Amino acid sequence: MPPDKNTLGCGYSIPTGKTEKHMNTFEELGLSHELLKAVKNIGFVNPTPIQEKIIPAILNSEKDLVGLAQTGTGKTAGFGLPIQQQIDFLSKNVQALVLSPTRELCIQITKDLESYAKYIPDLKHTAIYGGADITKQLKALKNNPQIVVGTPGRVLDLINRKALKVNAIRWLVLDEADEMLNMGFKEELDKILVTTPQAKRTFLFSATMPKEVQRIAENYMNVSEEISIGKRNSGADNVKHLFYMVQAKDRYEALKRMADINPDIYGIVFCRTRRETKEVAEKLKNDGYNADALHGDLSQAQRDYVMNGFRKKHLQMLVATDVAARGLDVNDLTHIINYKLPDELGIYLHRSGRTGRAGKSGISISIIHTREINKIKSLEKLINKKFTKSKIPSGRDICEKQLFNLIDRMENIEVDEMLIENYMEVIYKKLEWLSREDLIKRFVSVEFNRFLNYYKNAPDLTVSESKQKREDKEIKRPVSFTRFFINVGSTNNLTPPRMIGLINDYTKRRNIGIGKIDILKNFSFFEVDKKFENDILNGFKNATFHGIKITSEISKPDPQKSRKQDSFRGEFKKKKKKKRY
């Protein structure tokens, strides 16, 4: 049946005074016997809210669709199942193109689609992505797949080689569109989209709806037929948002307490830079935690090794940058920890959306200092949810939690009678001089003493807002800034956060005061605390950005021109219009 005329396709219902009917089984959604058999085989019982809305809309309507949804809500099955059901097996053309931001997500989507098509042998899927042998992908495309899943860069490359023909596709899916734009794929997306037929249906999925995503929707989709699902820029309902306020020097100690108060933690710790990611992961490993790092300096083989360990839960904590973690599809995460808040607030939605999936609850923790309290307020407005200010667990709290966790483990351990029976007589004889109370104390202490010793005199790390403001006021001094020129700009995909990352990475310092950043088309300017001039000049000597050798020098004002114009060896006579951040 077609969608009710009183609804916007499958999204927000227009109030009619009638009770909305919910479909509780996949059978009610109109899927074929083969797909239903595969769904049952996978273990899907009931459709998620998004699947319940998207599947009938794609099957029964000709509208485009904008899906505003967090990752992990089941959208792959939402668009994959109805597209697979409508494939024309008489055609040899590629009929559906799915674009995703990363290699990992591309592979995951393809695996999911293949599992749905288990009982449709003639349905072929191909994954194409960078960092892999292109000759194998060229060969796979010659096998006439009906559905292609790919990353924007590799897809555009194969289109330009005329190996991938998308002029006859019937469906285009943009999965995690905001992430693709965050990763700098704007130009590739535009070039791909203009090569596709106008008559196709476009399904755009995004956790947030920034201006660039809206631009794609306006330019390449029929706005009057747009269908929205979910709430814009909204966090998942079953994720609890907490923040802890500490002094900057205590940030790592606070992280350890987060891990110790949650013995069964399984989560991702987000850092801003690769250097910070490495440092935090190394510290955690040295302190005995099951942790490892995921960052851009890893080879694909190293990355796969770390991710395999994390998926199998051999690692409890994965320390990662936002770029390295994009496209990861890991279920059952209990915690997301923002070791530092992201510069772009929309990224917080992607971070926190990795927990609390599939109806489970999750916790998103942010470790902040008082000067970031306004960021928390901005995030509350962005996700329309309140953050809970929490007190850093004390040593006593942690010891108590660890003690009872140990007791629970001992109580619930499975005893293999056959395995230990031969040793029991010797054990009884060895321990017969101990009373029941002494025996329990000693067994508990074997495991528990290190926590007692470590946290015996542990200080209170929580900082009150008023106290920190007083301290900040006392130590605050006027900062004199030096302005620098750099020979890369917006055409090289340089942004203020990436500029900050360059400064952190190449100076190997994180305490440099950074002032105004001006990104122009072909070059840029940035200000740093004057006392770090030599750190910038020395650190950027061998620096590169996206393969371009960086030239950086101190900007000296030309007295013949206004203060808003700088002269650099006569290379730039006029400043182009500034792009301010």
Instruction: Report in angstroms the alpha-carbon separations of 203 from 7, 147, 377.
Output: 18, 14, 33
The helix-helix angle for 395-412 and 436-454 (nearest 10°) equals 140
Sign, Cα dihedral of 528, 532, 534, 536: negative
Say yes or no to pLDDT of 560 above 70.
no
Mean pLDDT of 3-9: 31
Taking only the tens place, the pLDDT of each residue in 417-469 is 888 888 888 988 998 898 888 888 888 787 777 777 777 777 888 876 555 55
**In b/e form, how buried is each residue of 153-184, taking b as 16+ CB within 10 angstroms?**
bbbbbbbeeebbebeebbbbbbbbbbbbbbbb
Taking only the tens place, the pLDDT of each residue in 277-319 is 999 999 999 988 999 999 878 887 888 889 889 989 999 999 9
The answer for residues whose C-beta is within 8 angstroms of residue 335's C-beta and 6 or more apart is 258, 262, 265, 266, 267, 268, 355, 362, 363, 364, 365
Mean of all residue pLDDT scores within the chain: 82
Domain range 239-393, CATH architecture: 3-Layer(aba) Sandwich (3.40)
Nearest to 483 by CA among 544, 558, 545: 558
Q: Look at residue 443 in the predicted model and tell me its pLDDT.
A: 80
Taking only the tens place, the pLDDT of each residue in 93-102 is 999 999 998 8
Backbone angles phi, psi at 554, to 5 degrees: -70, 135
The helix-helix angle for 186-195 and 152-160 (nearest 10°) equals 50
Mean pLDDT of 380-394: 89
Q: Look at residue 23 in the predicted model and tell me its pLDDT.
A: 55
Determine which helix (DSSP H) or strand (DSSP E) holds 205, and give its type and residue range. strand 201-206
From 53-62, 100-109, 140-149, 437-446, the region with the lowest mean pLDDT: 437-446
Can you name the residues that pair with 580 across neighbouring β-strands?
Answer: 518
Mean pLDDT of 51-65: 89
Taking only the tens place, the pLDDT of each residue in 175-223 is 988 888 877 788 999 999 999 998 899 999 887 777 788 888 888 887 5
- Where are the domains positioned within the chain? 27-229, 239-393, 396-454, 477-580
How do strand 317-321 and strand 291-294 relate by DSSP bridges? Answer: parallel
Token readout for 310 is: 């994390």
Q: Look at residue 17 in the predicted model and tell me its pLDDT.
A: 35
> Which DSSP state fits 458?
P
Q: Are 317 and 336 in contact (CB under 8 A)?
A: no
Confidence band (pLDDT; 50, 70, 90) for 233?
low
Tell me if residue 254 falls in helix, strand or coil: helix
- Which superfamily, per CATH, for 27-229? P-loop containing nucleotide triphosphate hydrolases (3.40.50.300)
Mean pLDDT of 514-528: 90
27-229 with 239-393: one CATH topology? yes
Q: Look at residue 164 in the predicted model and tell me its pLDDT.
A: 96
Token readout for 50 is: 């998004």
Instruction: Please return the burial class of 396, using the count of CB atoms within 10 Å of its CB with bins 0-12, 13-18 and 19+.
Output: exposed
Q: Are 130 and 154 in contact (CB under 8 A)?
A: yes
Q: CA-CA distance, 255 to 371, in Å (whole number)? A: 19
Q: CA-CA distance, 446 to 429, in Å (whole number)? A: 20
Instruction: Report in angstroms the alpha-carbon separations of 148 from 99, 124, 156, 185.
Output: 9, 9, 13, 18
More confident residue, 493 or 478: 493
As a whole number of angstroms, the longest Cα–Cα distance in the chain is 96
Q: CA-CA distance, 483 to 489, in Å (whole number)? A: 16
Say yes or no to pLDDT of 536 above 70.
yes
Q: CA-CA distance, 227 to 11, in Å (whole number)? A: 6
Q: CA-CA distance, 359 to 236, in Å (whole number)? A: 10
Domain 477-580 annotated CATH 3.40.50.2020? no
From 81-95, 230-244, 542-556, the region with the lowest mean pLDDT: 230-244
Taking only the tens place, the pLDDT of each residue in 149-167 is 999 999 999 999 999 999 9
540: left (phi over 0), alpha (psi -120 to 50) or beta: alpha
Q: Are 153 and 188 in contact (CB under 8 A)?
A: yes
CA 534 distance to own-chain centroid: 35
Instruction: Report in angstroms the alpha-carbon separations of 302 from 160, 306, 309, 569.
Output: 31, 6, 11, 45
